[in-house]
Amino acid sequence: MTDVIKRNNVRTIGEGDQAIIFAHGFGCNQNVWRHLVDAYRDQYKLVLFDFVGSGQSDLSAYDSERYGSLDGYTKDVLEILEALNIKNALYIGHSVSSMIGVKAAIAQPSYFSKLIFISPSPCYLNDGDYIGGLDKEDLNNLLALMDSNYLGWSSFLAPQVMGNSDRPALGEELVENFCATDPDIAKEFARVTFLSDNRADLEKLVTESLTLQCAEDILAPLAVGYYLEKKTKGNTLNILEATGHCPHLSAPEEVIAAINAYIDFE
């Protein structure tokens, strides 16, 4: 059997009765959760991990067939929880990991108590009346640039994704994260991320959820938050004052306060 803990560089912190599992987004790793870890490490058992191809994960475990859709990443989450014998966890996912959490909770609802989505999107492409944020042509151009010059693509896109141009260090951190990801794996993960359409999954979710949507986000506009709230039973939408796609890095205090209010944390 695959060593799940090694494969995904799983770390557990704290000894609380309930677990929080943090799932990072594309181009990142578990270090992006450091602000939230500091806020919850004394009261919860925290589970941090890297998706295969990111951070300190086992690159040899990457399989293009397994990870050719979000199903492979969903299996990673479920296998981690199974290996740690965790049920009733609070799941916090950023960006594409929000939909990975949706798929995991549909498959094994007993593993999760609540889901928290940070800057989620069930579909990044505009489609008729649906506003996803990206036109097909723009996305194709981005993917073509990624294929031809991954480092240049990272330096170009990451600061725009982060936003908050008045604090360039934030964008630089995201560039470093993108550049630290295995380029070949990142290219495949990017296509899986941006070309997936998980809108049909939303109506299947029975686990309660919270959406934290930023006021301005080039990848997940406000229309996406309203769509998700409308289509997902038991979903609560909280529009943050924060801007950009990574509020857990740019505005952690606001994110923590919103999570605390949702889970009645004191």
pLDDT digits over 43-88, tens only? 999 999 999 999 999 999 999 999 999 999 999 999 999 999 999 9
Contact 76, 111 (CB under 8 A): no
User: Which pLDDT belongs to residue 177?
Assistant: 73
Name the nearest CA neighbour of 106 among 242, 246, 233. Answer: 233
pTM: 0.94
Question: Is 95 considered catalytic here?
Answer: yes
Ramachandran bin of 264, using left for φ above 0, alpha for ψ from -120 to 50, beta for the remaining angles: left
Active site residue 217: yes
Question: 50, 76, 201, 217: which is the annotated catalytic residue?
Answer: 217
Task: Choose the catalytic residue: 57, 95, 121, 154.
Answer: 95
The pLDDT tens digits of the residues spanning 156-170 come to 777 777 877 778 787
Residue 2 pLDDT > 70: no
CATH number at residue 103: 3.40.50.1820
* Structural domain of 21: 4-263
Q: How many domains are there within the chain? A: 1
